[in-house]
Amino acid sequence: MNLDATFRPDRSSMLEPWRRHPWLIASLAAHGVLAAGLYMAGPVHVAIKRDDGLRAQVAQSLQHTGQRQMRRELRTMEEIRDALAESAGVAGGEGKGKGGKDAPRSPDPAVRARELARQIEQVQQKIRATELARVLRIPEAEALKRVQRDEARKPGPAPTRHASPEVQVAQLAQQAKAALAQRRAQLLAQQQGVAIKPEAGEMKPGRPQGGKAGQGPGGGKSAGQGGPGQGNGQMSGQGGQGGRPGGSGIAQDSASRGSKVEALASGLALGAPGAITGSSIDMSSNAFSDSRSFGAYVQPPPVDAASMRTGRGHTIGAGGAYANRIFLDTWYVIGPFEGAGHDSQNAVYPPERGVDLDAVYYGKNDRPVRWTFQQDAHYPSIPLPRAENAVYYAYTEVVVDRDMDLWVWIGGDDDTKMWFNDRLVWLSGDNVDKPWYRQPFMTLPERHTLNLSEGQRRLHFNKGRNSILLKLYNGVDLMFYSVVLSK
């Protein structure tokens, strides 16, 4: 049997279908080209469509965040106006309508910011006129006219009406903060006076007759004494002794009228943080270098473990944990954002401009980041996913059943920044040596007392909800943040 003849295909029979249907080849070729095109181009088109949707979401989130920031800056300008007015002895503040009521507000934030800037300038003119009247011993009305004439001759700031509302409000808010800082410095100068070298035979400043060496005016404690989180309430230049110009009247009056200015300026962090230098520790890695210079070793604040009742949650009082030391374990967390090394603390990311829990932004490596709910089963809090040279934000609300003052214990690896009810209240030092830099935080004994802390703040909590926004920068390796409340 010839196997080759049996199994050899008949070429004429194979070509018969193509002869009878000549369009079949063209049809199959066209379908092949179409399938290949769909395979190659289909996923690309879907990805572009998704990216367009993501870009729209990010743009909308940034717009909402900008609106929140403008509202917050307008509130800050209102507070600055009121604080300056109070320090100048202007009842009810400037810019009030008849009957002491606020004048109608424009819905346009830029117009509202310009109106507030005008009101702040009026208060500043009042302050300058009061000082000029005192120095020249002329009526204050005449001094005010002189101040207004001088201001009219000065070239004004460059107009910002062509800029976007966000830019206009931000610029005017910055001018308002500068006015607050200037008034703060003026009040401090009035309180502390100017040191004058005593003539021979005169009493030395700070050494009143009959007082002990090392004591301040009147034999009291010198400035700087007092327990943690407490101030001594005394300032140099008060008490009417020590050769301070103006005597006790001006100092005490300026101190009482400037309390709101001082509190607001501190809340806005207008003062420069102190620099700390010291030994160094190498915290480099292959992925990112974060070597630093460190100052003194920071020991966690002491706690009384014997009387401690630890708990967790975010409700204080009725409905909350039966505890006197509470770990805030429930947060909304967003990140990681691309870090800026040691400058990450000063870099402003979208969550700082206004918390929008529905927002989506571009984070590290241009990946979308959203707020995610996180309830920590163990102490302390660790944001996920972990990344190096990265910035995270955590937001929570603390509910209290009545007005109360609480200690807030704060710690983090590496650096933290915290706002309480939209006020900056904490900024950790990025050049201090912390216990968890020497030993992994999960092995430290402080973990069992909820005390991975590097500092405290005594804050006033209003009845109801109080917001906390915490910023965390991680350089390399391990990271965490800790916020604990106590009486």
Gap between the Cα atoms of 482 and 328, Å rounded? 8
Whether residue 94 is contained in a domain is answered as yes
185 lies in the same domain as 322:
no
- Mean pLDDT (the chain) is 75
Q: Residue 351: which of 366, 365, 367, 370 has the closest Cα?
A: 370
pLDDT of residue 163: 78
306 lies in the same domain as 245:
no
pLDDT of residue 213: 37
Q: Are strands 372-375 and 310-312 parallel, antiparallel or unpaired?
A: unpaired
Q: Among residues of the chain, what percentage have pLDDT more than 90?
A: 28
pLDDT of residue 267: 66
Contact by Cβ (8 Å): 335, 390: yes
**Chain Cα centroid distance, residue 274:** 18
Whether residue 48 is contained in a domain is answered as yes
Q: In the predicted model, is pLDDT for residue 26 greater than 90?
A: no
321 lies in the same domain as 460:
yes
CATH at residue 427: 2.60.120.380
265 lies in the same domain as 287:
no
DSSP state of 364: G
Whether residue 386 is contained in a domain is answered as yes
Q: Residue 147: which of 120, 175, 127 has the closest Cα?
A: 127
350 lies in the same domain as 254:
no
Whether residue 208 is contained in a domain is answered as no
Q: Please, is 314 exposed, middle or buried when counting C-beta atoms within 10 Å of its C-beta (0-12, 13-18, 19+)?
A: buried
Quick one: residue 239, left, alpha or beta (phi over 0 = left, psi -120 to 50 = alpha)? left
Split at pLDDT 50, 70, 90, the class of 332 is: very high
350 lies in the same domain as 457:
yes
Whether residue 217 is contained in a domain is answered as no
Split at pLDDT 50, 70, 90, the class of 235 is: very low
Highest mean pLDDT: which of 28-32, 242-246, 343-347? 343-347
Split at pLDDT 50, 70, 90, the class of 236 is: very low
Whether residue 428 is contained in a domain is answered as yes
Q: Residue 415: which of 343, 364, 486 has the closest Cα?
A: 343
Q: In the predicted model, is pLDDT for residue 153 greater than 70?
A: yes
Q: Residue 206: which of 187, 226, 222 has the closest Cα?
A: 222
Instruction: Please give the structure tokens belonging to residue 52.
Output: 């367009």
323 lies in the same domain as 428:
yes
Whether residue 225 is contained in a domain is answered as no
- Which domain covers residue 451, as residue numbers? 283-486
Split at pLDDT 50, 70, 90, the class of 360 is: very high
65 lies in the same domain as 133:
yes
pLDDT of residue 392: 97
In Å, the largest CA–CA distance within the chain is 142
How many other CB atoms sit within 10 Å of the CB of residue 354?
19
346 lies in the same domain as 263:
no
Which residues, at least 6 apart from 330, have a Cβ–Cβ distance to it below 8 Å?
313, 314, 373, 374, 375, 376, 396
Q: Among residues of the chain, what percentage have pLDDT more than 70?
A: 66
Who has greater pLDDT, 345 or 430? 345
Split at pLDDT 50, 70, 90, the class of 280 is: very low
Split at pLDDT 50, 70, 90, the class of 9 is: low
460-487 pLDDT, tens digit per residue, is 999 999 999 999 999 888 999 999 999 8
238 lies in the same domain as 308:
no
94 lies in the same domain as 40:
yes
Split at pLDDT 50, 70, 90, the class of 452 is: very high
For residue 416, give the H/E element and its range: strand 415-420
Mean pLDDT confidence for 108-136: 88
Instruction: Please give the structure tokens belonging to residue 480.
Output: 């965490």
- In the block, tokens 């404690």 appear at 221
Q: In the predicted model, is pLDDT for residue 111 greater than 50?
A: yes
175 lies in the same domain as 296:
no
* Count of domains forming the chain: 2
Whether residue 201 is contained in a domain is answered as no
Q: Which one of 249, 270, 291 terminates a domain?
A: 270
